[in-house]
A and B are shown apart, each in its own frame.
Chain A
């Protein structure tokens, strides 16, 4: 089941106008991705950690999400330091670790962590529906937003149907192995999954139309800009400018 554990909360970060959060998170991600100096990246990471802290997110959940990314980062650390050309940092017989390789891996790690944490703190602290609505109010086309929101629904539906099918085959004694029968069974499950998901999607859409849906999503969230949002805009803008200054001067 897909949950949105970070979306419900009472921290001040949860209360910021979602539009401000989306704009800042986007710009912030670009600034981090395009920066190269370590002081900038370390500062950004610190800011991201602070944001997560302020959002009162469940730390176990945060670490769990980061763990997924660590696998990819591990892959980078296994390959890049050994294959990058440049000044040797450490040599053991034929194997040498280069300084630019390590620096490069470190940069990727820092950037990934900083961007990811900031998105957890800023973007996942709103529900998917709110995010869709926010993107719409920021001028993203209605169709794209709809596609995004519906994809979210379908993933949930598909997962549920998948569980049901898995249980059904399990109850009839199916044990996966490396043989044609297993492959065929999985192919059937996947095929049936698509068929069921599309039929279900059709019915969901019909049900929505019956309740007056005409392609536009509304949410109960309030979008009115409060005075505090201006304060956050100023804060976020100064963070961004500060990081850019740090990078270039």
Chain B
């Protein structure tokens, strides 16, 4: 899963034998799925619609409960909703639809929502929110009305709402979907500068090749390395920007 051997790399997410099916369906979306995710990993997942990519991310966040299997995050088993509350502090999920993520009237309130939930004071939350916006090149957006932003701006603000919680790992669910080329390359630029481990779901080759060190695919409810693209990525190792 990692393209260099580093002893410091610990397993951060460990999924073992995960089974999941949606109610009313008899097909397992996830069928005995195993996944090891280490700190520093930047993996991309490219797979057809309906193969369970989003389901996988939602299982990690505890939004969906697996029918069977073991989930260990940061070395600790997580089962109950209470366990997942800790997970959600450290893992940030960027939703497919930014409109689901942005619900506050103003950008500042939305970006500060996470930090406030984490128990930060108003002043701290505000400061963190403003800093995060600045890092993403969104200075001056704080008083904009969230639902009046353009699609690309919404995506970036949604990313800010996740980053403001200072997560250790990001789960990105098709961050480039529905964006034009210019906005996409801006997003790639922003993401490549973020020094975090992440799992990236995308249908976009540019996204995957630019942003991930290894590429995976999903089939029959399982996840495995994607042979061809794997080679490709190895021949152009990604150097993280500092």
Contact = CB atoms under 8 A, between A and B. Distances in A.
A166 interface: no
A218 B117 contact: yes
A203 B97 contact: yes
Interface string B88-121: 1100110101001101110011001110111000
Nearest to B101: A207
Interface stretch (A91-99, A174-182, A208-216): A208-216
Interface string A152-174: 01001000100000000000000
A220 B112 contact: yes
A62 B223 CA distance: 59
A200 B114 CA distance: 20
A29 interface: no
Interface in A192-217: 200, 203-204, 206-214
A127 interface: yes
Give the secondary structure class of B's interface.
helix
Contacts of B200: none
Interface string A121-164: 00000011100000000000000000000000100100010000
Given A127-B105, A219-B109, A203 B116 contact: no
A218 B115 CA distance: 10
B165 A220 contact: no
Given A212-B88, A220-B126, A204 B100 contact: yes
B114 A212 contact: yes
28 contacts: A7-B105, A153-B103, A160-B147, A200-B100, A204-B103, A206-B58, A206-B63, A206-B95, A206-B100, A208-B103, A210-B61, A210-B88, A210-B93, A211-B113, A211-B162, A211-B165, A212-B88, A212-B165, A214-B117, A218-B113, A218-B116, A218-B117, A218-B122, A218-B125, A220-B116, A220-B125, A220-B126, A221-B122
Contacts, number: 72
Given A1-B147, A211-B162, A203 B100 contact: yes
B204 interface: no
Given A129-B105, A204-B100, A212-B117, 4 more contacts: A203-B95, A206-B95, A218-B122, A221-B122
B195 interface: no
B104 A207 contact: no
A159 B147 CA distance: 13
A4 interface: yes
A70 to B, nearest CB: 29
Contact of A211 (B108, B109, B114): B114
A210 B63 contact: yes
Most buried by A among B58, B101, B161: B101
B83 interface: no
Contacts of B116: 218-220
Nearest to A221: B122
